[in-house]
Structure formats: C-alpha cells, structure tokens
Amino acid sequence: MNELTTQVFASDRAGLSGAAKLLVNGGLVAFPTETVYGLGVDARNSDAVARLYQAKGRPSFNPLIVHVASLENAEKLVVFDDTARALAQAFWPGALTLVLPLRLDAKISPLVTAGLETLAVRVPDHPVAQGLMVAFDGPIAAPSANPSGEVSATKFAHVRDQMTGRIEGIVDGGDCGVGLESTIVATQPKPTLLRAGGLPVEALEAALGDELALAGETAAPSSPGQLASHYAPKGTVRLNAIDLEDGETLLGFGAVDAAVNLSPSSDLIEAAARLFDALHQLNALGAEKIAVSPIPDHGLGRAINDRLRRAAAPRSGAAT
C-alpha cells in the first residue's frame, strides 16, 4: 500500500471538525475512547471499511464494533430486548459492547458485520470520542487502532508509531483511562459474556441479578476476534511466574522487582490501564521471554488474565 499522509488533530472543536470531515470523505481516523484508541470509519461506507481492514491487515471475517453517541442512536441500528436496554441504561456511556440483532434498515455496511445478522454496538465514555461522534453525526465502526496481531493502543504515541502512513488521521486525546477493550455481551438467547473487558463481569452480574453464561455454553455467537494471538507481544509469555528463569524478563504485579510493573501496589485498575503500554514497553526492551507475576482472577484481573493467556498461547490464526 502507498504511504498515506497522516494528519494529527488536536481534540478541540476545530480538530474534531477536521477529523469528522475526513470520516465523511471515507477516511480512516484513529481517536481515543476510555478503553483503547479506536480506528474509525463511516460504518455505512463499504469502501472505507474495506480500506480499514487493509490498513489493519485484519482478516475480513472479523466483525467490527459500531460506536454511537447515545442509546437512542443505537436503537436505530439494532433491536433491543429488555435485558439489553437495562444494561445499556446502567452502563452507557461506558466499556460495554452489546451484540444485538441488526435492523434491516440500519444501512450498516455488511463488511462491518462480516455478514452476521447481529451487530456489536457501544456508546463510549470519552469526551473526545463523544465530540467526534457529534461532529460526524453518524455511526463509526472502529476496531482497536493497532495493526492486526499487535498490542492495542492506549496512548497517542502508540497509535502514531503503529499507524502513521497507513491512515488519514489521528485525534490526539492523550491516554485511555480504562486501558482494556470493552466487555462484550450478547443477550440472546440468554445473557452471555463474549469477551471479558474493561467493565467487570461482577458489575454486569449485579445489574442482571444473575450469572452471565460463557461463550460456547449457549447458542450466542462467539466473538470471532477471540483468537489466541490477539494480544501477542513479540516475546513468549509465561504466566503465574513466582521465580524468574534464565533469560526471562519479568512483567510484575505487586511488590516485586520487575523490568516493567503493572501495579507495584497490586491495584487491578492501575494494572488494566497499564497493560498494553507494558506490552509495548516489553517489545521496546526486546524481551524474548516474558514471565508474568500471578494476578488475582477477579474484577478487572479476570480481563487482564484473559488478555495475558491469549498472549501466552501458541501463535497462529488471525487477530484483531
């Protein structure tokens, strides 16, 4: 692909209006959300979506999340059942993606859903994402703004380093607060967790008054992006490491002496926010064998461990 000129926009009104204009013209624009940076395109424009897949090097069977400014806008794209509406009212704007039946008149490009009859939607809780959606005034399809198979971007510098020359624009909105992708839930035929993420499962289960089923246990669609190498840093990964073996670099959690530490104070929220930056740092250090301290498997720890297990899995298949 030819090198593109990548414009950097400030997150003020003029910047957002320039970025929105690129989207209107079918351009690819990275922007911050509270979870990770997204790589946005007009979700109704198939040419633009095709260019997005190409820019990410993403396999085209992998569907995208559509970002909208409000529940009201989401209702124009998908059919909400009572459970989905209750979850949206409780957690939007926020790190929750709902997979729901696509409306026939939604005008979403079939490349966004990869031909599925469901659509993943969310309302991000970030002023810059909100500002961009208002300026653009339409649905924005946005996968995480990293090349396929690489670590998601949680800082402007990550996107700039990974995507310059591949996309038309980047809105510089600083760091992402949550640092993990959204939690993905389908409500039909029963509430099912498709991807653990930035909204803790416990919060969802408290709102539902019931446990979430796990993907694979029900007929709910699985998340095709949940492939093993999704979160791969360049080195191999060994989890639950108490001691360091020869040649290993420690990704620490808690009061340990580590090359990179997710949270010296064992704070899972801090660890989530730092996770992808830590993997970028380990790549920059040239770490070939990464050992990871044990991380408790509750709250955001569950999503962190999920990401790290994927990073630890043998490399094969596609990734987003």
Which residue ranges make up the site for ligand TXA (CB under 6 A)? 33, 35-36, 38, 62-65, 97, 99, 113, 116, 118-120, 142-144, 181-182, 184, 194-195, 221, 223-226, 320
The smaller minimum CB distance to Mg ion, of residues 182 and 320, is found at 320
> Binding of Mg ion at residue 182 (CB under 5 A)?
no
User: Least distance from C-beta 286 to Mg ion, angstroms?
Assistant: 24
The smaller minimum CB distance to Mg ion, of residues 20 and 275, is found at 275
CA–CA dist 139, 205 (Å, integer): 28
User: Least distance from C-beta 45 to ligand TXA, angstroms?
Assistant: 17
By a kind-dependent CB cut-off of 5 to 8 A, residue 296 interacts, out of Mg ion, ligand TXA, none, with none
By a kind-dependent CB cut-off of 5 to 8 A, residue 187 interacts, out of ligand TXA, Mg ion, none, with none
User: Least distance from C-beta 144 to Mg ion, angstroms?
Assistant: 3
By a kind-dependent CB cut-off of 5 to 8 A, residue 148 interacts, out of Mg ion, ligand TXA, none, with none
> Binding of Mg ion at residue 97 (CB under 5 A)?
no
> Binding of Mg ion at residue 249 (CB under 5 A)?
no
User: Least distance from C-beta 246 to ligand TXA, angstroms?
Assistant: 35
> Binding of Mg ion at residue 144 (CB under 5 A)?
yes
Residue range at the interface with Mg ion (CB under 5 A); choices 2-10, 83-91, 141-149, 295-303? 141-149
Tokens of 168: 């038309």
| Contact predicate 168/4, CB 8 Å | yes
The smaller minimum CB distance to Mg ion, of residues 182 and 293, is found at 182
The residues that touch Mg ion, with contacts defined as CB under 5 A, are 144, 320
